Structure formats: C-alpha cells, structure tokens
Structure 1
C-alpha cells in the first residue's frame, strides 16, 4: 500500500496534512474515510449565511450549523475517550434536565454563533483527531464504556472501534445534512 494522507477540504486541514506524519494501512484508511465524510458534511454548508445555517427545514429540530456542532462535539468526546477512557465521557446516568438541555443546544445555532466559527471549531477537532490516529501507539487499546442505557453493560471499545463509530456518526449526519440542505434551497451534495 502507498503512503496516504486524508483528503483536505479546507486550508486549515491542508496545512495540517502537510505537517502531519504520513500514515499507511488501516490508519490511512480511517483518515481517508473520515476525511470523505467530513467533506460531505462541510459541503452541505457551502455558500450559506449564518441565518441559513441555523434554519430548520424539516419537521426535526436539526439545522446545518447544529449538525456540524454536534458532530464536532461527538468527535471531540470520543477522541478524548481513546486517550483518557470513560472519564472523558459525561456521566449519563447522573445527567439532569439542564444537562440534557445543554446537550440539545449542540443541535442549534445559538445567538452569537457563526457558521464560520462552527466550521473552524470542527476543523480544529478534525486536526487533533487526525493527529491522534497518526500517532496513537496501539489502535487495539481499549477502555470500558461508561454506564449509559444505550451501551452494553461491561463492554469495552478499542480505539479502532471508536474510530469506526466516529466515521459512522459523521456519515449518518452528513446524510441528514444533505436532506436539510436540499429542503433549504434545492442544493444537493451528490446528484
């Protein structure tokens, strides 16, 4: 296999790719797959105003800026889990209504937030995750999952499994974003 770095859809990611260590094998595959899904998610926000990025276009609460914020938060948290284990995750069993309300704000553009700011935060998280993938000593290193109703009790996830989850989460929300964008102004990511 040849040495590969992930596709870089932004100037910030391009600068990172130029200075990041070259990776091969499954690490390169993870970076390429994640880079592609990040690109599709970001692409849905092209040429939008802040107001458009915050607009709901379907029956759901989702908007494009909120989806980017959510994916950013998910990637940040799971990357921290790879390094720190379950202490990096919220204690889901002790969350209050106020905690859940704050988490719901991940899916909205809040007053004062800009699409440019949301995308810059996403770029920074992506850069750190890519660096982690390139430098992590062992993709098989695992941590127990925190207690939560949606996790299997006593389960552990390896860094490899977490990366697959981040890719799947990003792809799922890129699909949501495509529907929202098409509903907003007819623009499509593909087709």
Structure 2
C-alpha cells in the first residue's frame, strides 16, 4: 500500500486529488495539508511514502518543502504539481530531489502511472535493502570462520600473502591487534598417520 500526503492550499484541487487517488486500491491518502509547514507536522504522524505538493503556497511553498524533505527525509519520494508558468520553480525542485512533476490540471492516468512507477521503485529499493541486510547477517555469521581460516593460512604458510602490509591489513580487518612489543610462542603439532 502506497501512502500519499497531498499538499496544496487550493482545497478543491486537494480534495479532487485525494478522491482520485483513493479510487486505486494500492494507494491510500494518508493525509492532506494546506502548506509546507502543515505538511512537515503531518509527516511525523502519517509517515507517507510519497508527498505530492503544489509549488505556490503560503507560509512554506513547495520549493522550500521539497528542499527540507530532501534533507530530513531523503528516502521520501516527492512529486511536484504546478502550472506551466512555474517551470523555473519546478526545475529547482527537481534538482533538490523531486522525482517528477505534473502540470495542473492533473490528469488521472498520468498521476496513476507515476504513482505506480514510484511504488515499484520503493519496492525495488526495499528489496535491495533487505538483500544488503541479509548479506551482512551472513557475513557476520561467517566472520569467525573466515578469521580462523586466515590465521590458519598465515601460521601454516598455506595462504600466500604479498607483503607484511597485506597481513597487517587483514589482521586489522579481523580485529587482531599485535604490537611490536607482543611476544608469542607458537606450537604447531601435526599427527602422522591420523
């Protein structure tokens, strides 16, 4: 379910967008705001996936809102709606992290297509994040085994290393700290015919 926050000072346009978006079963309007300041307060409560914002609004306009959202919530997708005469503002918001813009009056088909693209993008981002987390979990689980193999390779000369710096780098990676003052005795036992 894609959660959307609509930000526009024109109540009729805001309600129209809300009604239109609510027709699609995969989308839900999580909230509405009349300006950027109201939107910032609502974001904490409703935690939307997407913010659709008008450019021209009182108190905090869409340009400022997109900039603040890009800094505070970089993962949040931002869509700008505007009239044709606002194109210089739109270009600025695109540079500050808006994923796309729609011209007023917003056509339902274009809106739905854009929201579906965003939904797929969020799904792919989540999948990549989950794969990264899984990879890190597996790496952490295998870390002690890799550490033992490394030490075994160094002690038995079974693993060739290019230099002492290479070995030092690996020791550091595995959290094995030796200082020049450290002294060690190594006893290596090999049992014949075992």
Q: Which has the larger radius of gyration?
A: 2
Relative to total residues, which structure has the larger helix share, 1 or 2?
A: 1
Quick one: higher RCO (CA 8 Å, sep 6+), 1 or 2? Answer: 1
Relative to total residues, which structure has the larger strand share, 1 or 2?
A: 2
